[in-house]
Structure formats: structure tokens, C-alpha cells
Amino acid sequence: MYKRVLLKLSGEALASTDGIFDHEVLDDLARQVKTIVDDGVEVAIVVGGGNFIRGKMAEELGIDRMQVDNMGMLGTVINSLAIQGALEKVGVETRVQTAIDMVKVAEPYIPRRAIRHLEKGRVVVFGAGIGSAFFSTDTTAALRASEIKADVILMAKNGVDGVYNADPNIDFSAVKYDSLSYMQVLQEQLKVMDSTATSMCMENDIDLIVFNMNEKDNIIKVTRGETIGTIVSLGG
Ligand code: UDP
């Protein structure tokens, strides 16, 4: 169904209830990614850092926002290395490329090189966000998907199975969308991604599928074209 996908995972999705990582989540992720790589799909991954820290915690910590953002970006690198470790354990060749140079642990981000890895069937994990404070890993996903010309962003959510017109955990009458446009997301202020990321996807005409990562084999299902979650596109 898709030739090249960018999978966006939140940092929180990798965490257990009482720890930074849940090894079962990492192992299951690796198993699913191996399956889609074996299907012939080229896979790039952007992972968040929310299991460590987020920029919006700056105030409560009393630490300068830029400093906390740097901490967040480093958290995404740790997550990227954990994903690389899990993937290599199941025999999937993986490269981590970081937007902040740290050449002893990962390659620097070089778009053409990333594309070459993908063409060779290697998974590429992009760490350290876009390398600048005041951005999110959703924006990173939008930017990297544009740069590597991914067919779609697969946004794996933690416990939410798509985009709703209201928060389904609070409002039991909330209705799930099967499809919608980026303009609707912006106008109705739907909580899909932050507005920078949404605008970037809109301007670069990148499709996005929001789906639940906690349901069995959903990463495999979505890449094989099963209709799950919500698809967000330019036309809706
Ligand atoms: N971050 C940043 N620049 C980027 C990407 C991330 O400063 O390009 C920082 C920011 O503080 C963010 C944190 O890293 O809150 C973790 O990323 P994010 O909140 O997107 O992670 P997620 O919520 O997906 O786990």
C-alpha cells in the first residue's frame, strides 16, 4: 500500500507505568516494524521524548525553556537508541541520525544519506527533533516526512484510536472522524498535532493517519491499507 512511511511515536508510548521503558512495548514495536520491512515498506521513525521531559515543564521546574527543550531533545536520542537496540535484536538493520551532532553514538542527520539507507531496506530513526528549541517532535515528523518524501505519516497514539470532535475521555458523546482535512483541524482546533506541524503537513500535502498503537498489530494493519483510525489530508 505504501512504499515509504514515517512512523511517529510519542515517548510516552514506550514507557511502562513505573519506568522509562516497557520492554514489551519495544519488543512488540520491533516485531511489527520487522514485518512491514519484510513486506517491502521503507520505514523512518521519529520518536518523542515525553517519557523523560517536555518543554512545557519548564515553568514547574523553574528552568529556562530552552534548557528544558534541549533536555527533551536529548531524551528523544535515548529513545531512538532504545528503538535501534530493539530492532537490531530482531535482525532489522537500523541507523539513528540526530539533528544535534553526537557522532560517537549516531550519525548526523543527512537527508540524502537517510534516503539511501531507506532504499537499502534499513530503518532510519531520527533523534533530537529538528535540533532547535521551541519545536516538537510532531513538527519534526512533518519536516522529515517532507525531506525524505514519505508517502504518509503514521501517527501512533497511546490509547486513542483516531481524531474526535471532543476529548473522548471527558465527553462520552464525542464522535470519531474517519477522514478530515488539515483546514478543519486548524479551524476546529482539533488536538491532532500542534499547529506548526499541521501547517507544515498542509503546505507540503502530506497525508497523516492517526491510529491507536495499543491495539494488536495496528502498525502492520495500517501499512497494509486496512482502514483504521482517522486519515487527515489536504482535501479531507
Ligand atoms: N523538542 C525540541 N525541539 C524539537 C523536538 C523536541 O525542543 O525539535 C523538545 C521539546 O521540549 C519537547 C521535547 O523535546 O517537549 C519532547 O518532545 P515531544 O514533546 O514532541 O515528545 P512526545 O510528546 O511526542 O513524547
Domain span at 143:
4-233
- What ranges in the chain are assigned the alpha helix state H? 23-38, 58-61, 65-89, 111-119, 137-147, 182-187, 195-203, 218-223
What confidence tens digit (pLDDT) does each residue in 175-213 have?
999 999 999 999 999 989 999 999 999 999 999 999 999
The CATH number covering residue 105 comes to: 3.40.1160.10
Q: Could you tell me if the CB of 135 is within 6 A of ligand 1?
A: yes
Q: Could you tell me if the CB of 218 is within 6 A of ligand 1?
A: no
How far away, in angstroms, is 71 Cα from ligand 1 center? 9
**Mean pLDDT on 115-143:** 98
Q: Could you tell me if the CB of 54 is within 6 A of ligand 1?
A: yes
Query: Average model confidence (pLDDT) for the chain?
Result: 96
Mutation to probe ligand 1, out of 137, 158, 198 (largest number of atoms < 8 A from CB)? 137
Q: Is residue 1 predicted with pLDDT exceeding 90?
A: no
| pLDDT at 113 (0 to 100) | 98
Read out DSSP for 1-24? --SEEEEEE-SGGG-BTTBS--HH
Please give the annotated binding residues for UMP, written as ranges: 49, 69, 130-137
What confidence tens digit (pLDDT) does each residue in 54-111 have?
999 999 999 999 999 999 999 999 999 999 999 999 999 999 999 999 999 999 999 9
How far away, in angstroms, is 130 Cα from ligand 1 center? 9
Protein residue with its CA nearest to atom 21 in ligand 1: 48
Closest atom, ligand 1, to C-alpha of 99: 8
Cβ–Cβ contacts within 10 Å for residue 116, how many? 13
How far away, in angstroms, is 39 Cα from ligand 1 center? 31
| pLDDT at 221 (0 to 100) | 97
- CA nearest neighbour of 151 among 209, 190, 194: 209
Q: How many domains does the chain have?
A: 1
What confidence tens digit (pLDDT) does each residue in 12-22 have?
999 998 899 99
Q: Could you tell me if the CB of 129 is within 6 A of ligand 1?
A: yes
Rounded distance between C-alpha atoms, residue 137 and residue 123, angstroms: 18
